[in-house]
Amino acid sequence: MNQIDSILTSEQIAIFQALDEIDKDPCIGRLTKEEKDVLFDQFFSKEAKMKRLQRIRQRQQALEQQLASLLAMEKKIVESLQD
C-alpha cells in the first residue's frame, strides 16, 4: 500500500471496487440472451471461420505485394551501386 492508498476514504474504495468489477465484466450492450446464443453459434460456424480466413488471406496478399515492392527497390539500389 502506498501513501495515496493510506488516505483513501471508504467512498473512494467503493468506487475503485465498482471500477474493478466493470473491468472484469463491463456488461454494456443491448443483446438479449437469445441474440447472444445465436451469435455464439455463429462464431463457431464454418461461414464465420471462412470469413476470418478470407480476411487473413487478403492481409497476407497485401503484405506479399509490399514485400515484392521492397525487394524490387532493394535490387535497383544494389544495381545502381554496382554501375
Partner 1 sequence: MNTFMYVVGQSVDFALKLDEWALSSEEYIDLYFNKNRTAIRNTSFGDCISKIQVLSNLLTNLEQGFTINNFRGVVDEREILQAIAVIKDIELYNEGEMFPAIALESICNAPWNIIDQSQVETRKGAATSLIEEIVKESKSKRFGGVVKLFTIPRAKPRYSKIGFVDTDGSGEMLLREAVAENFINAQQQRRDSKIFD
Q: Residues interacting with partner 1, by CB under 8 A?
A: 1-2, 4-5, 8, 12-31, 33, 35-37, 39-40, 42-44, 48, 51-52, 55-56, 59
In whole angstroms, give the CA distance from residue 74 to residue 44: 43
DSSP symbol at 29: S
Smaller CB separation from partner 1, 12 or 69: 12
What single-letter DSSP state applies at residue 45? S
CB of 69 to partner 1, least distance (A): 19
For partner 1, the closer of residues 34 and 83 by Cβ is 34
CB atoms within 10 A of CB 83: 4
